[in-house]
């Protein structure tokens, strides 16, 4: 059996481009560039299942549905996690196995 890696889509987040790739030379403000356009990004929250001859490995588990109370207050204003709902979180899904790949829209 070959080693395979499969993504699990666990919701979406929104975040300022500059926060992700800081310091992005085209986005960061400096003494020569005191104003600039901001870019809001929307991206998937991914987890990965690695199929290995010795068994399955889950890499990352996504974001908890309790993020509004678990995250520090400053982070709640930086990242939009409103699309992280109980329906998309890993704990609400059936156990992953090759037979249940349909639980992941991104899995082939």
Phi-psi region of 11 (alpha: psi -120 to 50; beta: other; left: phi over 0): left
The encoded tokens of residue 42 equal 């929307």
Per-residue pLDDT at 3:
94
Q: Return the domain boundaries, the chain.
A: 4-100
Q: What is the pTM of this model?
A: 0.66
Question: Sheet harboring 4-16: ordered strands across?
Answer: 55-59, 40-52, 4-16, 79-80
Residue pLDDT, tens place only, 47-106? 999 999 999 998 888 888 888 898 888 888 888 988 888 888 876 666 654 444 434 443
Three-state SS string over 82-100 comes to CCCCCCCCHHHCCCCCHHH
């Amino acid at each position: 059996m070959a080693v395979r890696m499969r993504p699990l889509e666990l919701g979406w987040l929104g975040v300022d481009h500059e926060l992700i790739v800081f310091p992005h030379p085209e986005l960061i403000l400096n003494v020569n560039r005191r104003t600039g356009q901001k870019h809001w990004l929307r991206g998937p929250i991914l987890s990965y299942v690695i199929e290995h001859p010795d068994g399955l490995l889950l890499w990352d588990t996504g974001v908890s549905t309790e993020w509004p109370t678990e995250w520090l207050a400053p982070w709640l204003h930086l990242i939009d996690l409103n699309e992280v709902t109980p329906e998309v979180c890993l704990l609400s899904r059936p156990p992953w196995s090759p037979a249940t790949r349909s639980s992941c829209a991104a899995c082939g």
